[in-house]
Amino acid sequence: MAEILLSLTIIGVVAAITLPSLTGNINERTWNTQRKALYARMSQAIALMPSLNGYGAYTAATSSTSAIDNVAETFVTAGLSKVLKINNICSQLSDCGIVSKITPMLGNSQINTPQNWEELNSYITAPNSTWGSRTANINTQSVAFETANGESILALYNPYCKFYMNEKSISSAFEYHYSSQEKVCLNFIYDLNGNKGPNTVGKDIGFMTVLYPADSAVVNPMPTTQISSDGTTFQNAIKLCKQQGDDLRLPTPDELTSMYINQKLIYGTLYTSGLNYWSAISVSPTLAWAQGFTTGDNYIKQKSQGNKVHCIKRN
């Protein structure tokens, strides 16, 4: 009897140690599968839409008039719902399973779930003097909806999205650039299991960005915790990601734009100094694309110069 009790005690201890890890691994695999399936469905739906800009009406408030802002709801009801199965559309986010607070991917403290562009990223609504005030000044409200597969999604919409590029000469760095804010048509914050926990970005919560009104690109980057503390060259940036793991790589310019837009969801705050990150795209033997995380500019930079590095997981 003593031996049986001892055996049961050992089994209980081992189970207590290993069960949380096993449960966590199962959850991770489930979320990864759901995330990929949602990305596939959203990409297919967006591809069926003729254009992404111009839905609804947006007029900023003045001292004597109220704001007119039905762009996000109009886009979902009149556009997205025609190509994607949607169960509910909610102006009150909680009615569609969107929680009020979420935990950032790399931050320790919870943040409020953003309900407009200003709360998501205030750089988007502030004019950008660095590159000639080309930033789209948008602060539209969000709308929430539930898909037929049970995901809760918050949508932020820019009715003025376009593809703007100020092209002078590719032979000179810093003269070939554009404001990433203007090419962002939609930003989705999705929760794979609604009100259930852990409500953490990178687990059950993620973000997905749609760029360009026609021939749109849908990106769903999964950043890692590996960020270089010092500026490094383009070639060394590629090596740094490979050294961290075979499943890691540098982001594309569009993925970097999504990370710039959603940096509060990644870090818990907005960067206030001039951080610039390498993308994976080379344009010549000496030049490559980079992304500013305060100005929002995509620009070309000499590969020999220094930039930060942030790797992402391969899809």
- pLDDT recorded at residue 26: 66
What confidence tens digit (pLDDT) does each residue in 41-80 have?
999 999 999 999 989 988 877 778 777 889 999 999 999 9
Residue boundaries of the structural domains of the chain: 27-59+66-313
Residue 131 pLDDT exceeds 50: no
More confident residue, 168 or 294: 294
The confidence band for 314, taking pLDDT boundaries of 50, 70 and 90, is: confident
**Which positions ≥6 away from 25 have C-beta within 8 Å?**
none
- pLDDT recorded at residue 117: 92
Determine which of 75-84, 193-202, 267-276, 285-294 has the lowest per-residue pLDDT on average: 267-276
Segment 233-238 shows an average pLDDT of 95
Q: How far apart are CA 56 and CA 252, in angstroms?
A: 31
